[in-house]
Amino acid sequence: MGSDVAASYAERADEYVRHLGSMSSVHPADEHLVTSWAESTGGPVLDAGCGPGHWAGHLVARGVEAAGIDQVSGFVEHARRIHPDVPFDLGDVDALPYEDDEFAAVLAWYSLIHHDPSTVRRPLDEFARVLRPGGGLLVGFFTGSTVEAFDHAVTRAWRWAPDLLADELRASGFVVLETHTRTGPPSGPRAHGAILARVAP
C-alpha cells in the first residue's frame, strides 16, 4: 500500500475503527468462511493489512495462532491495546518483515483493494514468499465485471473481476481453489468476492 493511501487511512483511523473495527460489522457469511478456513490451516496465520486487528483477535480467540501487520500506526496501536495477546507489527504488505516460509496461511481481507492493478503482484509475491509450501491464502475484495477504479470512502480503490484477480494469483505461484461472490440490493453493500488459494507445494 502506498504512503498516500496509508496517510489517508491515518487521517480517518478513529472513524474507521468506530464503524468497521469490530466483528459486529462483519457479514455472517464472511465470518464463517474466514474462521473455518483459518481453523483448517493449522496456523500460524498472518492477517496482512489487518487494520484495527479485529480479524486476528477473533481468530486467536477461536484458538488459531495468528498475527497482524498494517502500515497505519493508529490501527496497530489500537489493535495492540484491544488485543494484547496478539502480536501486531507495523509494516507494508509490499515488503513484509518476515522470513521465507514463516506462515501457514495469509489472510488478505480487503487489504489489496487500493493497489493499482499494475502493482498488485508485489504483495502477492510477498505472500507467496512468507508462506510455507502448500500454505493457504484467502483474499477478500470488491467485485466487478472487469478491473475498474472507484471512489472509496477513504481513497481510490479497485474492483476486480474474480477471474482476472485469480489470474494474478496464479502468476504469483498460487493454485486457485475456490471463488465466492455475493451481491446485495443496490442500496446495500458493494458486491463482494473471496478467493481461496494455496502455494504450490
pLDDT in tens, 126-154: 999 999 999 999 999 999 889 988 876 55
Q: What is the pLDDT of residues 113-130, one digit of tens each?
A: 889 899 999 999 999 999
Structure confidence at residue 172 as a pLDDT band (50, 70, 90): very high
Structure confidence at residue 16 as a pLDDT band (50, 70, 90): very low
CA 59 – CA 73 distance, rounded (Å): 21
**Domain of residue 20, residue span:** 3-199
Q: How buried is 197 (Cβ within 10 angstroms: 0-12 exposed, 13-18 middle, 19+ buried)?
A: buried
Residue 21: pLDDT above 60? no
Query: Residues 53, 138, 39, CA angle at the centre, nearest 5°?
Result: 75
| CATH number, domain with residue 165 | 3.40.50.150
Residue 4: pLDDT above 90? no
Helix orientation angle between 54-61 and 73-82, rounded to the nearest 10 degrees: 30
Q: How many domains are contained in the chain?
A: 1
